Amino acid sequence: MDKIKWVFNEMPKSEDKYLPLMETERIREVKAFHESFPQYTVTPLARLDGMAKRLGLGGLFVKDESWRFGLNAFKVLGGSFAMARYIAGETGKRIADMTYDYMTGEQLLKDFGQATFFTATDGNHGRGVAWAARKLGQKAVVHMPKDTVQMRYDNVAREGATVTIDNLNYDDCVRVAAKEAAETEHGIVLQDTAWEGYEEAPSWIMQGYGTLILEAAEQLRALEVNRPSHVFVQAGVGCLAGAVVGFFANLFPTEPPKFIVMEAEKAACLYEGACRKDGKPAVVGGDLETIMAGLACGEPNIISWDILRNHADAFLACPDWASAKGMRMLAAPVKGDPAVTSGESGAVGMGVVNALMTDPDYAELKEKLGLDSYSNVLLISTEGDTDPVKYREIVWDGKNG
Q: How far apart are CA 308 and CA 220, in angstroms?
A: 23
Q: CB burial class (10 A; 0-12, 13-18, 19+) of residue 44?
A: middle
Give the pLDDT band of residue 82 (cuts 50, 70, 90). Answer: very high
Percent of the chain with pLDDT over 70: 100
**Structure confidence at residue 83 (pLDDT):** 96
Residue type (1 letter), 2: D
**Average pLDDT, integer, range 376-390:** 97
Helix 239-251 vs helix 24-35: crossing angle, to nearest 10 = 120
User: pTM value?
Assistant: 0.96
Q: Flag whether pLDDT at 401 surpasses 90.
A: no
Give 123's pLDDT tier (boundaries 50, 70, 90): confident
If you average pLDDT over residues 201-211, what whole number do you get?
Answer: 97
Question: What integer pLDDT is reported at residue 290 of this predicted model?
Answer: 96
Coil, helix or strand at residue 116: strand
Task: Check pLDDT > 90 for residue 383.
Answer: yes
Is it the case that residue 1 has pLDDT exceeding 90? no
What are the catalytic residues? 75, 122
Instruction: Provide the mean pLDDT of the chain.
Output: 96
Asked which of 3-7, 22-26, 99-103 is least confident by mean pLDDT, the reply is 99-103
pLDDT tens digit sequence for 168-193: 999 999 999 999 999 999 999 999 99
**Cα–Cα distance list, 270 to 89, 96, 187, 275 (Å):** 32, 35, 30, 9
Q: How confident is the model at residue 381 (pLDDT cuts 50, 70, 90)?
A: very high
* Whether residue 133 has pLDDT greater than 90: yes
Domains of the chain: 5-73+202-395 (3.40.50.1100), 76-191 (3.40.50.1100)
Within 10 angstroms of residue 339's Cβ, the number of other Cβ atoms is 13
The residues near 21 (Cβ < 8 Å, ≥ 6 apart) are 203, 206, 207, 246, 303
Handedness of CA 21, 26, 28, 31 (dihedral sign): negative
Residue 326, CA distances (Å) to 256, 339, 391, 393 in order: 26, 12, 12, 14
Beta-strand relationship, 139-144 and 116-120: parallel
Q: What is the pLDDT of residue 328?
A: 98
When mean pLDDT is compared across 74-78, 192-196, 205-209, 220-224, the lowest value belongs to 192-196
CB 233 within 8 A of CB 245: yes
For the segment 292-319, what is each residue's pLDDT rounded down to a tens digit?
999 999 999 999 999 999 999 999 999 9
- Checking if the pLDDT of 287 tops 90, the result is no
Angular region, 359: left φ>0, alpha ψ -120 to 50, beta rest: beta
